[in-house]
Amino acid sequence: MSFLHNLMGILVDKFQIVGGKALDGEVVISGAKNAALPILLGTMLTKEKIVLKNVPDLRDVKTCIELLKILGKECSYDENGSLVIEGKIHNKVAPYELVKTMRASIMALGPLTAFLGEAEVSLPGGCAIGARPVDLHVKGLVAMGANITLDEGYIRSSTNNQRLKGATFVMDKVSVTGTENLMMAATLASGTTIIENAAREPEIVDLANFLRMMGADIKGDGSTTITINGVQELKGGEHSIVADRIEAGTYLVAAAATHGRVTCKNVNSSLLETVLLKLKEANALITIEENSITLDMRGRDILPVDITTAPHPAFPTDMQAQFMVLNAIAKGTSTITETIFENRFMHVAELIRMGADLKIKGNTVMCTGVESLNAAQVMATDLRASACLVIAGLVAHGTTIVDRIYHMDRGYEHIENKIRQLGGTIERIKG
């Protein structure tokens, strides 16, 4: 069956969750989706062989591999489970069929333009001028000398057979994939590129480490100013993807919400300091070891926490939906304010259907804690909303059905196995 047929098959899968049990045990955290995607696309910057370890088995990763193959790369897994990417890209077109399923494909634009001197990348579905624009990606490349036009739903870029030129670029808004796209493009540009107001997420640092391994000259990643001195070419090598801090945060919240005890292995606590602070504020007992984090909520009340999302190192928007469940069953009232994305409260209506007392006022949700949640049939609307509904299902007494879990498969590796290992009852119902 083709990749797209497979995709159609999983579109109708559902999760059936029987809640009411405390999660207890250990879970191994996978490589970060948001680091794996730019790094996979960054392999376009060399013709040499790249070996990637700790690549999560996710739908978005499969989509990215599919895209790399279309562009000319050979991708395979070796006997150790590492992803091996070889060959040279020769096709400049990132087609709509793939890009529409994964917005991160916009990050093909920088590497394609830098390596081939031209690119045609479909605009991510419905996002062009709406809630998630890509203007910063485009403006940055134009500052580096690319000619860019928008034509029939495609962003077409060309350098007229010249190398991109280093430039100083101030991001009007802090953008994670925008910063990554420009970092990748700048590695092969002539001269120095300075990205001001750059994103500081750990995944930016992981991408910079990967690019440095390839021979790129990058400084300042993890701060708001990133400086890249372009080089003539980049070489191959090996890299291991950083742990997924959002996956770890999600299991920790699931442990807290079910009054359980969970140890997340293979993750360094420095990746999620703000989330851990908020979990402590919610009254969780947190124990940190070198490469693991344990949360214990047995016999402890959940206390409400006020949250405002903002770019790293502040509270991540990707953990907002999961904390909504915690506040929904906390002892008292709290507020959750979303400042990164409009319309990222789609999970609120579903939680209300499960008995939560939540009120939306603009970009803030007022949460009044209730005793518990009721099982219900609910619909996932995006990746992190799905995680929120799965946690809610684990909390609620009775059987919850979460529909449209294909969102979940984009970002959580083997989620039902991991939850079952922790004692949760969850089944995938094939559509």
| Closer to ligand UD1 by Cβ: residue 210 or 260 | 210
Sequence-separated (6 or more) residues with CB below 8 Å from residue 281: 303, 305
62 contacts ligand UD1 (rule: CB under 6 A): no
Minimum CB distance to ligand UD1, residue 171 (Å)? 8
Could you say which of 43, 101, 122, 175 contacts ligand UD1 (CB under 6 A)? 175
| Closer to ligand UD1 by Cβ: residue 317 or 377 | 317
63 contacts ligand UD1 (rule: CB under 6 A): no
Could you say which of 173, 300, 331, 359 contacts ligand UD1 (CB under 6 A)? 173
| Closer to ligand UD1 by Cβ: residue 44 or 297 | 44
With contacts defined by CB under 6 A, name the span among 91-99, 128-136, 190-198, 388-396 that binds ligand UD1: 128-136
176 contacts ligand UD1 (rule: CB under 6 A): yes
Q: Is 127 an annotated catalytic residue? A: yes
Minimum CB distance to ligand UD1, residue 404 (Å)? 18
Nearest one of 249, 414, 403, 408 to 319, comparing CA atoms: 249
Angle, in degrees to the nearest 10, between helices 273-281 and 245-257: 10
With contacts defined by CB under 6 A, name the span among 20-28, 278-286, 312-320, 397-405 that binds ligand UD1: 312-320
Q: How many residues bind to ligand UD1 according to rule CB under 6 A?
A: 21
Minimum CB distance to ligand UD1, residue 20 (Å)? 30
137 contacts ligand UD1 (rule: CB under 6 A): yes
98 contacts ligand UD1 (rule: CB under 6 A): no
> Is 394 in contact with 354 (CB distance < 8 Å)?
no
User: From the candidates 127, 264, 367, 388, which is the catalytic residue?
Assistant: 127
The DSSP code sequence of 283-345 is T-EEEEETTEEEEE-TT-PPPP--EEB-STTSB-GGGHHHHHHHHHTSSSEEEEE--S-TT--
| Closer to ligand UD1 by Cβ: residue 141 or 351 | 141
135 contacts ligand UD1 (rule: CB under 6 A): yes
Residue 118's H or E segment, with its range, is strand 118-122
Residue reference for tokens 């209300």: 352
52 contacts ligand UD1 (rule: CB under 6 A): no
Q: Token digits for 75?
A: 């991708």
With contacts defined by CB under 6 A, name the span among 186-194, 268-276, 313-321, 415-423 that binds ligand UD1: 313-321
CA gap 22, 19 in Å, rounded: 9
Nearest one of 242, 296, 238 to 267, comparing CA atoms: 242
Minimum CB distance to ligand UD1, residue 177 (Å)? 3
Could you say which of 229, 317, 335, 364 contacts ligand UD1 (CB under 6 A)? 317
CA atoms within 13 A on the CB side of 361: 6
DSSP annotation of 54 reads: S
Could you say which of 95, 117, 133, 237 contacts ligand UD1 (CB under 6 A)? 133
**Where are the extended beta strands (E) located within 178-284?**
192-196, 217-219, 225-229, 237-240, 261-265
Minimum CB distance to ligand UD1, residue 64 (Å)? 10
318 contacts ligand UD1 (rule: CB under 6 A): yes
Q: What angle do CA 377, 378, 382 make, to 5 degrees?
A: 160
Minimum CB distance to ligand UD1, residue 110 (Å)? 12
CA gap 182, 107 in Å, rounded: 9
Question: Is residue 63 left, alpha or beta, with left meaning phi > 0 and alpha meaning psi from -120 to 50?
Answer: alpha
Minimum CB distance to ligand UD1, residue 105 (Å)? 10
> Is 183 in contact with 158 (CB distance < 8 Å)?
no
Rg (CA), the chain: 21
**Where are the extended beta strands (E) located within 20-70?**
24-28, 50-53
Residue 42's H or E segment, with its range, is helix 33-42
With contacts defined by CB under 6 A, name the span among 2-10, 160-168, 175-183, 396-404 that binds ligand UD1: 175-183
Minimum CB distance to ligand UD1, residue 335 (Å)? 20
| Closer to ligand UD1 by Cβ: residue 354 or 389 | 389
> Catalytic residue positions?
127
Give the residues lining the site for ligand UD1 (CB under 6 A): 34, 37, 103-104, 132-137, 173, 175-178, 203, 316-318, 340-341
